[in-house]
């Protein structure tokens, strides 16, 4: 397997992560002292990559695209931290503030603040409404998940609904907004959204170990949406990204 598939975006991915890292040191120390902010290579890669590649389909590589990649990742990080917070604090028993409730809530809120300031600094306020709607979807999914824990094992449709809200909508929004920023035609933005939502469904179900014969339809639908997009090198990168979800974690480390 070649590690050069994503070579053209590797530098921009690093810039995005450097941008994020620069915001993680606060007066009280580093945010990883107060919340679990460790993510797998794929978690660190996939959402910013979708932004960069979707914009690249329309020959757009600009600081605003870099900022959008960071914004999407800030949203993911904040929501992930909030989602992991236990309903009751175990801090007193374990002595680790990251496993409590108060500090992770504050860190998640801090990261949401960084999403908003990055949006302002990049002069991308026109994306505030769609991004706010996506954040609402993600937390709606989190509520549905917690409310329905006892129903999930045998209810594939419920799992799909939760994955759509918690994971797929952000992936779809990342693709569509990147196309918007790059000046893609409306028809292509819809195809980017369709691609992103199906990619997100595959990814979210894979994370939950819920991929089965029925849910494999999302692979096919992602590729069908991809077929509608311009025939540029970035299209092959998105195709590879879909198939990369079949890889092991060690394979992912070699590629990204």
pLDDT of residue 2: 45
* 3-class secondary-structure state, position 214: coil
Give CATH for domain 9-255: 1.10.600.10
User: What is the 8-class DSSP label of residue 247?
Assistant: S
For residues 176 and 155, what is the distance between their CA atoms, to the nearest angstrom?
30
Work out the average pLDDT over 168-196: 98
Do residues 158 and 151 make contact, with C-beta atoms less than 8 angstroms apart?
yes
pLDDT of residue 252: 46
For residues 118 and 51, what is the distance between their CA atoms, to the nearest angstrom?
15
pLDDT at 215 over 80: no
pLDDT of residue 39: 86
DSSP one-letter string for 66-92: HHHHHHHHHHHHHHHHHHT--SS--HH
Work out the average pLDDT over 26-34: 75
- Note the pLDDT tens digit of each residue in 238-253: 999 998 886 544 544 5
Q: How far is CA 23 from CA 17, 67, 230, in A?
A: 10, 13, 36
**CB within 8 Å of 231: residues ≥ 6 apart:** none
For residues 180 and 238, what is the distance between their CA atoms, to the nearest angstrom?
17
3-state helix/strand/coil string of 18-44? HHHHCCCEECCEEHHHCCCCCCCHHHH
pLDDT of residue 245: 82
For residues 220 and 134, what is the distance between their CA atoms, to the nearest angstrom?
24
Average pLDDT, whole number, for the chain? Answer: 86
pLDDT at 214 over 80: no
248 or 197: which carries more pLDDT confidence?
A: 197
Do residues 89 and 102 make contact, with C-beta atoms less than 8 angstroms apart?
yes
pLDDT at 255 over 80: no
Work out the average pLDDT over 53-68: 96
**CB within 8 Å of 27: residues ≥ 6 apart:** none
Q: What proportion of the chain, given as a percentage, has pLDDT over 70?
A: 87
pLDDT at 124 over 80: yes
């Amino acid at each position: 397997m070649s590690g050069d598939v994503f070579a053209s975006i590797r530098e921009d991915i690093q810039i995005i992560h450097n941008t994020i890292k620069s915001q993680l040191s606060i007066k009280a120390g580093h945010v990883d002292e107060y919340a679990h902010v460790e993510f797998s290579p794929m978690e660190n890669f996939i959402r910013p990559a979708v932004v960069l590649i979707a914009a690249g389909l329309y020959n757009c590589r600009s600081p605003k695209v870099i900022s959008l990649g960071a914004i999407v990742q800030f949203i993911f990080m904040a929501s992930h931290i909030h989602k992991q917070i236990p309903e009751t604090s175990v801090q007193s028993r374990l002595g680790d503030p990251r496993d409590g409730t108060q500090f992770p809530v504050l860190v998640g809120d801090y990261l949401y603040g960084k999403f908003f300031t990055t949006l302002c600094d990049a002069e991308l306020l026109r994306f505030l409404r769609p991004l706010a709607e996506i954040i609402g979807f993600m937390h709606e999914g989190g509520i549905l998940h917690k409310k329905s824990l006892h129903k999930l094992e045998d209810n594939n449709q419920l799992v799909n609904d939760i994955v759509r809200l918690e994971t797929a909508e952000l992936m779809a929004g990342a693709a569509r907004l990147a196309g918007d920023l790059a000046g893609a035609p409306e028809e292509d933005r819809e195809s980017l959204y369709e691609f992103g939502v199906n990619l997100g469904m595959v990814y979210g179900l894979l994370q939950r170990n819920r991929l089965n014969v029925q849910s494999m339809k999302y692979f096919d639908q992602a590729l069908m949406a991809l077929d509608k997009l311009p025939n540029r090198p970035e299209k092959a990168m998105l195709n590879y990204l879909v198939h990369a979800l079949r890889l092991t974690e060690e394979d992912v480390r070699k590629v990204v």
